[in-house]
Amino acid sequence: MNGPYFSTRDYVFAALMACGLLLVGSIIVPMTLPLRIPGLTNAATAPFSSFFLVIGLMRLRKPGSLLLIAGIYGLVCLAISPVIFGFVLAGGVFGEVICTLAFRGYAGKIAPVMGAVLYEVGMFPAAMILSLFFIPERYTQPAVWIWIVAEIAIVATSLAGALCGLKVAKELARAGKLQLET
């Protein structure tokens, strides 16, 4: 028998990355949410969230790692709102499915970056749909072009954060502070 798929150390590291996501959300979301511009909150949190996700995925590398981090983060967010839990989990499932099918895990440089970007890209439509369903008075006649512009902004900001996370993960590994699984 080979042992568990994820070790206790992996669960703890994923929980630390989820804490990073929660910290980012706790600081940025209250500042951007009152502006009621669709996608602004996602675009503002994306560089920081992608940064933590890439570091986490570079360390864990196994298929299911993105879903593990998003799942832990989503469970914490469930205490805040089931809507937040829904779109966090939807983003995690979206990114995980595509990266698992395309890369079979998060080895290399491209897969962790793609996973983080796809997570952020998948969260916005899920957030809009869940918000329209559960909080219909919040949105009136959402225009398609706003969704497209928001997704472009989310891709740009999450890609910038993911690339910074990739650089930091490499430097931490080189300094011996982050053990990258092989």
Residue 93 counted as domain residue: yes
Residue 180 counted as domain residue: no
Residue 1 counted as domain residue: no
Q: Report pLDDT digits (tens) over 13-61.
A: 999 999 999 999 999 999 998 888 888 999 999 999 999 999 999 999 9
Residue 31 counted as domain residue: yes
Residue 72 counted as domain residue: yes
The per-residue pLDDT for 138 is 65
Instruction: Judge contact between 120 and 49, C-beta under 8 A.
Output: yes
Residue 122 counted as domain residue: yes
Burial 134-154 (b: 16+ CB within 10 A, else e): eeeeeeeeeeeeeeeebbebb
Residue 153 counted as domain residue: yes
The per-residue pLDDT for 182 is 55
pTM: 0.92
Whole-number Cα distances in Å, 40 to 30, 35, 103, 142: 12, 8, 30, 14
- Residue ranges for the chain with pLDDT beneath 70: 1, 138-142, 181-182
Instruction: Judge contact between 121 and 94, C-beta under 8 A.
Output: yes
Print the domain residue range for 119. Answer: 8-174
The per-residue pLDDT for 4 is 83
Residue 25 counted as domain residue: yes
Instruction: Please state the domain count of the chain.
Output: 1
